[in-house]
A and B are shown apart, each in its own frame.
Chain A
């Protein structure tokens, strides 16, 4: 399969090809061209495989190519992570807004369901039942307390009327 390395036969040819790829990689880096940088890295990987014979001089070129690959990989990962991290600050602020909107909407839903009114009435019912239990153990000597309990029951009846009136107007 024909490629850019097929016709290179000498050390100078390999050296020249390596310089060409490194120049392209450097140019892509200067332009912040991530795709160009990665394309250069792929060419360097192939350079390492195709360069031959594996003499000490050629191996030295391969080492240079590998160092350049390491630099490209490391810079690519650092740049990508840096860009992602830069946007993270904005997200942190957004997350607080999302929480606030969700909490407000959730409270509205609870309010529409009359949850507070239900809780108040349930609590009042419990109080009345407790008062009734207390009344059953009172003696004739506790007339004052009994009157107070009846007064509380009367007040609760009035409150009931008000809650009923408020139905259809607002949450209690």
Chain B
């Protein structure tokens, strides 16, 4: 038994020397990346939903809404996949942290098994407990190496995927702006059809004549011209009020479009931060450097802010 204990301790010493390159330290915290992935996925989903709803609201563009929705679903699926992926990274780091406890629990279960079998273990006693503790510690260190290797492998494999998703969403941004612009134009055209064109054309004609008369100077106007100007002012008044209403409606449409464009821009800038956060963890793992937790947290906070801004914009 003593011999076995010593062999365990020797193995422990060898392992600590072998593990020196990663310093027997914990793996980097990947939770900020997982958090930013969730926040960013939500932002992508909200932006797509907003554009789809805008297209659906215009009958002549409704056919484009379903085509767009089909395409955007694939982006949502990609981001959901990235959530699963980032959570599996967190699971590796957590499993590595828990490895020693899990190994110890397994040893304890084996003791329970022996008890259940009614078999007296000839090696039972303090020596066995020490053996399990040492084995658990050794396993914890091995798990650390396995965790680091697996994490590095997963992140190295995923980096091109993350980059491509980021590239696609960046390229989508101008197309989303085009769709928002198309809706905005259609809404303005609808206002024209609803009477803005009539009111505005009438006012344009009236104002041209009023400007001609006023440019002559009031003193130079003949009595007929003065009464014409008065009549034009009388006719223009209700048209101006109607025009103001149409302008207010157009302004509201512009505000809506601007809010959606802000949202798209937020997604476009967010995707760059998100992919950079992934790259920083992957690089740190590869180079065995400490991860810049601050930059990851900053990215997560920025993307969380983006989420809050999106919610605010949607309430408008």
Contact = CB atoms under 8 A, between A and B. Distances in A.
Q: Do A and B come from one complex?
A: yes
Contact of B81 (A77, A83, A102, A169): A102
B158 A98 contact: yes
B201 A66 contact: no
Interface in A104-123: 104-106, 108-114, 117-118, 121-122
Contacts, number: 238
Chain A interface helix/strand/loop/mixed: helix
A106 B92 CA distance: 7
Contacts of A118: 102, 105-106, 109
A48 B67 CA distance: 31
Interface of A: 5, 9, 34, 38, 41-42, 45, 48-54, 58, 62, 66, 69-70, 72-74, 76-81, 83-85, 87-88, 90-92, 94-95, 97-99, 101-106, 108-114, 117-118, 121-122, 124-125, 128-129, 132, 153-154, 156-157, 160, 163-164, 167-169
A66 B189 CA distance: 8
A168 B179 contact: no
Contacts of A58: 201
B185 A42 contact: yes
Interface residues of B, number: 85
A90 B84 CA distance: 19
B77 A95 contact: yes
B202 A80 contact: no
A100 to B, nearest CB: 9
Nearest to A83: B175
Nearest to A75: B182
A157 B119 contact: yes
Given A84-B172, A108-B95, A167-B138, 7 more contacts: A49-B204, A51-B201, A78-B64, A95-B74, A98-B82, A98-B161, A101-B85
